[in-house]
Homo-oligomer: A and B are copies of this chain.
C-alpha cells in the first residue's frame, strides 16, 4: 500500500521526527477515527453499535479503522466469552483515554467559533 520511497512517505517520516505532534495527527487524522474513538468512550464499544451510530460507514471501512486504532494502541480488542456468535468489545487503553480528553478540547474549540465567537488577529 505504502511506497517506501515516495516523497510523500519521506515527508511524513520527516514530520514524525520534527515533533510527536505530527505522529499524533497521523493517528487520529483519518476520516472516521476521532469519531470512533469518541463513540467508544461513550459506550458504543461494539462493532454493531458503531455501525448504528455511523450509518454511512461500510463494514469494511469500520473494520479497517478499528484495526489501525488497535495498531496504535488506542484501543484493545476483547472477545466476550460464551457469546454466540462470538462478540467482540473494544476497550480504550489509558493512551486512548488520555486522547479522548484532548478530542473533547478540540470539539469545544470547534463549537466555540462555530457558535460565532469573534475572530481577530493576535498581535505578536
Contacts and interface: CB of A to CB of B under 8 A. Distances in A.
Interface of A: 7-8, 10-12, 14-15, 18-25, 28-32, 34-35, 38, 43, 45, 56-57, 73, 76, 78, 91-99, 102-103, 105-114, 117-124
Given A29-B29, A93-B122, A111 B38 contact: no
Contact of A20 (B7, B107, B118, B124): B107
Chain copies in complex: 2
**Which of A10, A14, A32, A113 is packed against the most chain B CB atoms within 10 Å?**
A113
Q: Which 4 residue pairs spanning A and B have beta carbons closest together?
A: A20-B110, A29-B29, A21-B107, A24-B110
Query: Secondary structure of the A side of the interface?
Result: helix
A103 B21 contact: yes
A12 B107 CA distance: 16
Nearest to A93: B119
A113 B23 CA distance: 11
